[in-house]
Structures are given as structure tokens and as C-alpha cells.
Amino acid sequence: MKTLIMAEKPSVARDLAHVLRPQAKKGPDSLESSDMVFTWALGHLLSLQDADGYDPRYKVWRLDDLPIIPPELKFRTLAKTQAHLKTVAALLNRPDIDRVVNACDAGREGELIFREISRYASLSKPVMRLWLSETTPDAVRKAYAGMEPQAAYDHLAEAAFLRQEADWLVGINASRVFSVRHRQRLSVGRVQTPTLALLVSRERDIEQFAPQTFYQLQATFETVGKERYRGLWVIMGEGRTVEQDRFGTREEAQEHIHPLPRQAVVADATESAERVLPPLFPNLSDVQREANRMFGLTATKTLGVLQELYEKGYVSYPRTDSRHLTESLAQGVEARLGALQSQEAFGPAAGQALAHLGQFHRYGKRYVDNTKVSDHHAIIVTAKSPPASLAGPGEQIYRLIARRFLAAFFPPAVFAVREVISKDQQFQDLFRSTHKTRIEEGFQVLFPPSKESSEAGGSEDFLPALRRGDVVDVAGYTVHEGVTKAPARYTEAALLGAMETAGRKLDDPALKDVMKTAGLGTPATRAAIIERLITVGYVQRQKKLLLPTDKGKALVALVPDLLTQVMLTAQWEDKLKAVEEGRAPGGDFRQAIHGFTRDIVDQARTAPAADFPAAEIQSAGGGCPLCGSPLRSFPKGYRCSKQKDPACAFVLWTTIAGKTLTPLQVETLLQKGRTRVMRGFKSKAGKPFQAALVLEQGAVRFDFDAASKPAPKATKPRSRTRK
């Protein structure tokens, strides 16, 4: 008899086979040895059934049919993977298989994937759970030896199914009721809507922001030794805090400019050492934010690269929200440092880190804390080194993780911080001078200074050695004019951070504690949520910035507050956590979600219909290309708002030759009259092709010539020879 091991992806199945049964022979959908079979799921092989799968009448969206709450949710196969699903189900039920191992990704989603497939296959054989945080040989062997019965994870699976059911119920019903009520195809979701609300709220703050001019007064002082330094006029409060350092008018600032010559006295002079500890190990959000800030990578791209690095065994499991290691894992950090030491880029730094192992363990729970590791520990490098040929985003992200890992073994950076308060002897005005200089690099030697950081070189102003009571001359005054700045728009990095910490401002202490680790979405889903907002036209990406569209703003104004606030997610995560830990029955959560769904439908049904402004996209290229009137969206595209006028019947379908255009591609086509060459089109025979789209006289055609033209070659600049 044989054991069947099912992973989530082919690469992980191959890694497991390589460690557990290296002699296993490769087949089209599995690897097999004399006593083991390895197969994979390809992610989700099943999806929740669409509403019309329960009743054909749901194909048409009607208020009278809502809410749609099936007694039990059904699943459907996916056309692309249906054949593979049947093969996996047949393997699970093969007569010579007497035991099954669930080796899907260790977490709520991985558990869900396996349970969906096992239900589809009506699996009744014993199942063990293989829980992996990395795919190195030692980790695989240790996890395989410590497997537990699948039943130990039943509560986790129940929470996964409940979360899936709740998102389906709210998404299906809220999207339908708001779309029908307001005559506009809308997408509403438990997580995507409050995420959109963050962007809309920030944009509202920017639009309502009124810049204010302010003035600051700076004095220049000269010591007995003719050394000069500058100080900023301030009013000091208790505890060395600055209560005021600016004026509303230039005249107010000039009132504190007094005739020269005059003198001041050093009223206070302090010097202290500031220690900056190395950063914590990163979780997924940390890596995504840093990759976006440093390399301009989207969260989705970063997650894909991380997944590849994980599947190849170079880094630990990426979908984690933890920044700590377990005590048992911390005992094996030497091997990981050894792997870095063998790499040219990190050899010297890894050698220093090995010499500082004692210091790492003295940091205690800053880096190692079992209570702060749930499903997975922080993202760190493994004992397997990537090849020297690793390049592009893979190399960038690996280096980012490696530096963060090494930093934990380096000493703190130390800065000398000096502060001087100079006091006008006659008028008692106070002027504050500060100077910060790095005196020990510590871990910061691993992080080259960037444009966004000025700490590495200290402050630019010179500040001589001064003592309390020293008398200095006032050499002059300068009034500086400034203008207050509006809040910054969200970059993808900033939005990821806001989603992760979304619950910090909740008033309920219990829910606030839940949201410390939950946030909006999960580490695995935040990237997809952002991409979803862009796809449905609520958000547009402008370089690194994410901006809400008029459609997105209108939706947030339309839906009930509860759907736009983080409170809903906090309450759900609190209840799901209780189910996951076996502290609460899943039935209570299901009843609460059913009630919430009915409330949302009732509120939307009775609310007055809105004139949805986002239906018009006149901003895209000036509207209708034939008459200039605004365009209105409908489920399958855009049409001229004067569609009843026989002189203008412009229609732009958003699905062309099997490819659905994104809002950005539609805008480009309308604004520029053509798009770039795009892939994903299919001919009537089903063959894929690529082409550019061209808009001429209100009609869209393919430009195949653009697709066949080679990319222009870069030309080398001519060198000039001096005669």
C-alpha cells in the first residue's frame, strides 16, 4: 500500500519527493515511488458556485430575489483545471492508496484548498497534516516526522470555510443590491470596500486642505572663538518639548528681531547617545512595502517573486504576518548565516554576524518569541544559497531579506545627539539648535544611505562645543517663509501599511487587540485586493501612487458606514479566531453573517436611488470620440450618453476577441486613439494572438503591424575625440 502526499503547487511536490523519495519517477500529474505518490493542487481547483448555479432566475439581477442565502454553498469546477482535478480525485481514491498527507501551504487558505478537493473526491481515508514553513531538506524531514492527524486542524478548516462563505454572501448580495438600486454595475466587498475608503478619505483630506503660510525665525550666533551656529526661535514646554516654533505672519516674526549688537547666553546644553536597534525580521507586508519603495514593484509582483524564492528553497514561507522566530528555529541560525557567508555579496557581513551570535541571543524576545508566531515565523533566508545567476526582482528581493536577516546579528547604530538653547539676555527669546552625528555604524553598514534618509551623515548644521553659561554674540536674523503641505497620497507601500494597521484607532480594546495581527485582509490577500480595486475601476495607479476614481469616491459615499469601516473586519476576525481556536461554534458566526447580509440588503433597498456620477468617464480623452458627450458605462462596456440620438451611437465593448480591457487600457484607447501591443486575444479558432487596438472614427480595429515590429535597439552615444 502507498501514501499519497498532496502539495499546493508542482514545485513543492517535487521538493518533497526529492527529500522523501528521490527515486520517485515523474508522471504528467504526479511523481511515484514504490510506496509514495506525490501530486499537487495548482492552487484552488474549485470555486464557489455563482448565484445562478442555485437557480437560473438569478442570472438576471432583481431586487425581489435578494437576499440570496443558500442553505449550503455549492462548489463548481474550473474549466482550465477540470481535467487535473479529476486526476487528483482519482489518485486520492486509488485502491492502493491507504493514507493521504495534506501538504498544502500551512495556513487557513492552504487548509481550505485541500478540504475542498477532499470533499469533491468524497475522501474517507486517513489523512495526516504536513505543516511546512520552508522547503529545505531538514525542514521537510522534521515536519514529516512531526505530522499530526488532519482532525487536529478541523477548527482551522471550519474558520476557512466560514470566511469564504461570509465573503461570498456579502459580496454577492451587496454588489447586486447596490448595482440594481443605483443602475450601475458595482462591486462591494467586506475588505475591498474599507480599503477603498482609506484612499477616498485621504483624497478628501487633500481636496479640502487649505495651505497656510507660516514663518520661522532663525538667529545666527558667534562664539568667542568666532565659530558660528544657527538656532530656531521656539517656546519650550515641559519635558524639553517644543510648544511653538513658527508664526502666522511675517510681522509677528519680525517683532522678535532686535537691534544689533547684542548678546545671548547658553541657557542649556545637553549631549546624549541615541541607540537605534536593528529592525525586526520582515513579514510579507514589510517586504512588499520595501520592494515598492526601493524598486517600484507592485505588491502582487513581490508576492509572486517571494513565492518562487520559497518554492526553490531560498527563503521561508512568505504569507506570514509575524516578525519573530520560534525558540527552536533560532537555534539553527548558524546554518543560515553559513549559507550567506558562502555568497560573494554577503560573505564579509555574514562572517561578522557569526561573530555576534551571542549578542543576537541577548536581544531576547525582540527577535525570538513563540507567543508572536502563529502559523508561520518571519520571512528569513534558508540554509540553501541561490545560484550566482539569480537576477532581476528575484535577486533584489532575496538581498532585501538577507540584509534584514543579517542586521539582527549586528550591534545598534549609535548617534551623538546635542541640543543647545540660546537665550537672548535682554528679551528672553529662546533659540534651539540641534545636531546629530552617527558615531557607530552598527547594523546600518548593511544599508547604504538613500535619498529618503539623512541620518547616515548626521545633520548639516555645525554646532560647536558649548556649555551652559557661555556668552555668545547675535550675528544676525533670518526669516524663512514656508507653506503647510497637504497629506501625501497613498503609494502602494503606504496603503499596505495602512491596511496592516487599520484597526489601531478602534475604541474597543478587544477588537483593537484582534486587529493588531489581523488588519484589513491577510498578508496573502492584500495584494489581490489592491489589484481588484484597480480592475473594477475604483482606483487607478499613477506610477507609485494609488488614486481613487470618481466611481470609487461615489461608491464610498453610497454604501452604509459599516461597509466602509474596519470595524466589520475586526468583528469578523475576532469571531473567526474564536472558531479557529475552538472557543466558539461556527453556527453562531454563520447566523450573524446571515443577519448582517439581510440588514445590508434592507438598507440598500429602502435608500433613495443615486445619480451615480462615476457612470460618466468624460475625463478619459474628452468623452465620446464622435460627439464629445460623456460616456456612460454599462455591464459590457461604454456607450455615448446621447445613445438615443441616431447621429451618435458610439459603443466601446470592454471585451474584445476574448480579452477584457482594464480601465486604464480603455482610458488609453480613448485618450490616445490606440493602445500598446497587448497579449491575450483569441481568434475564432481559439488561437491566441497579440495586437494593438486602434480607435478610428468611432470603430475599434486591430493593428497587427505594430505587433510584428521589433523593439527599437538602443543606440550607443557617439564618443567625441578631442583634436
Burial of 291 (0-12, 13-18, 19+ CB in 10 A): buried
Distance CA 508, CA 495 (A): 23
Amino acid at 198: L
Distance CA 512, CA 497 (A): 16
Cβ contact 169:593 at 8 Å? yes
> Angle, nearest 10°, between helix axes 154-182 and 567-580?
150
φ, ψ at 114 (rounded to 5°):
-65, -45
Question: Residues in the chain, how many?
Answer: 723
| Residue 317 appears among annotated catalytic residues | yes
> Angle, nearest 10°, between helix axes 392-407 and 299-311?
80
3-state class of 641 per DSSP?
Answer: coil
Question: Which cell numbers hold the place of 36?
Answer: 509514495
Cβ contact 69:38 at 8 Å? no
Distance CA 592, CA 605 (A): 20
Distance CA 161, CA 184 (A): 30
Distance CA 168, CA 49 (A): 10
Distance CA 668, CA 662 (A): 10
Cβ contact 433:455 at 8 Å? no
SS percent in the chain: helix, strand, coil, step 5 = 40, 20, 40
- 317, 367, 398, 490: which one is catalytic? 317
Distance CA 283, CA 523 (A): 8
Distance CA 608, CA 104 (A): 47
Distance CA 290, CA 116 (A): 35
CA 112 to chain centre: 22
641-646, Cβ contacts within 8 angstroms, sequence gap of 24 or more: 641/616
Distance CA 40, CA 16 (A): 11
Distance CA 49, CA 72 (A): 11
**Contacting residues for 361 by C-beta, under 8 A, at least 6 apart:** 330, 368
N-to-C CA span, the chain:
85
Residues with catalytic roles? 317
